[in-house]
Amino acid sequence: MTLKSKEKYVYLAILFFVISLNSYGFTDSDLDGVDDSVDQCPDTPFDQLVGKNGCPINEEKGQFYLKIGGGFTKDSQYKNLLTSISLAYSYKNWYFSLLTNYYLYDSISDETGFGDTYIYGSYSFDFYPLYITAGLTVGLPTGGDNLGTGSTNLTPSFTADYILDHIDIFLSYGFVFRGENSENIQTISIGSGYQLENSYINGSFDTDSENGKYVSFFVLHDITEKYYLTLNYSYGLNKNATKHFGSLNLGVRF
């Protein structure tokens, strides 16, 4: 769970505006954090994502995100190593993504090949400082029986994220419909994050009705405005849970 790009920059714009009120000669009529003397779009709402010139960023065309990386899973009875690629697109309050994996090693099947593919879509309702996101994930069995679930899965989800200064607190709930021959799974995640100048860090406690309990950590670091890194690690707390899972990805915004 991460802060949305809009939430991050809305916060930074408000913070910049408040600090700048104490600076001599600063005037910001539309409350977007950009001085009127350089604001080329003087009538934007204060919660609008804007650039240094005060004009909306990607408001009309939206923004794409490409991530390439890899990950691993390991416990006493199972381990794998995989690569991943995902493409996402955001437009206003909408977000869509496509993710697929390729297994370089899998100890159970002793095979290499593509895993399942996941399509995700969501819409966020903005009640700043509270954000509500309703989403749906569709899991497609592109990995076959040995490297995938073998069936189409549907996961509706709901997330509430409350932002307070540098800190956000979130709660997520999902329900995985796994098909006729498998039991459905409920998932719950609760956690908190902290926004640094160029990074966002969060930790969470996660449960699912099949495997048990986990603690997870996530880091997003902006290398530049265009390039970023994400790091994720989860540790299983009970015997049914996978002990270790980690991933590292390089992303680009365009």
Segment 27-61, tens digit of pLDDT: 666 565 666 666 667 666 655 566 656 666 655 67
Class of the 63-253 domain?
A: mainly beta
Which tokens in the block code for residue 207?
């449960």
If phi > 0 it is left, if psi is from -120 to 50 it is alpha, else beta; for residue 54 that is left
Q: Work out the percent of the chain whose per-residue pLDDT is above 90.
A: 60
Could you give the C-alpha distances from 154 to 1, 100, 113, 181, in angstroms and in order?
19, 16, 23, 14
Cα separation, 124 vs 40, in Å, equals 28
Q: Domain ranges in the chain?
A: 1-58, 63-253
pLDDT at 147: 86
